[in-house]
Amino acid sequence: MDPGIIIRPETPADIAAIRDVTDRAFAGHPYSEGTEATIVDALRSQHGLAISLVAERDGRILGHVAFSPASAADRSPGWYALGPLSVEPRVQGQGIGSRLVIEGLRRLRELSASGCILVGNTKYYARFGFVAAPGNAPPGVPSDHFMVLTLGSEPPQTLIGFHGAFGV
Residue pLDDT, tens place only, 101-160:
999 999 999 999 999 999 999 999 999 999 999 999 999 899 999 999 999 877 888 999
Q: Are the beta carbons of 48 and 80 closer than 8 angstroms?
A: no
Q: Which fold has domain 6-157?
A: Aminopeptidase (3.40.630)
pLDDT of 8 > 80? The answer is: yes
pLDDT of the residue at 73: 93
Q: In what order do the strands lie in the sheet with 60-69?
A: 6-9, 51-57, 60-69, 79-87, 115-119, 146-150, 131-132
Residue type, 132: A
pLDDT of the residue at 32: 72
pLDDT of the residue at 168: 60
pLDDT, mean of residues 13-36 = 89
pLDDT, mean of residues 60-82 = 96
Within 10 A of 81 (CB to CB), how many other CB atoms are there?
A: 23
Those residues with Cβ within 8 angstroms of residue 48's Cβ, 6 or more apart along the chain or in another chain = 42, 68, 69, 163, 164, 165
Listed by start position, the domains of the chain span: 6-157
pLDDT, mean of residues 4-9 = 96
| pLDDT-derived band at 95, boundaries 50, 70, 90 | very high
pLDDT of the residue at 52: 98
Q: Could you give the angle at the alpha carbon of 143 between the alpha carbons of 145 and 106, nearest 5°?
A: 50
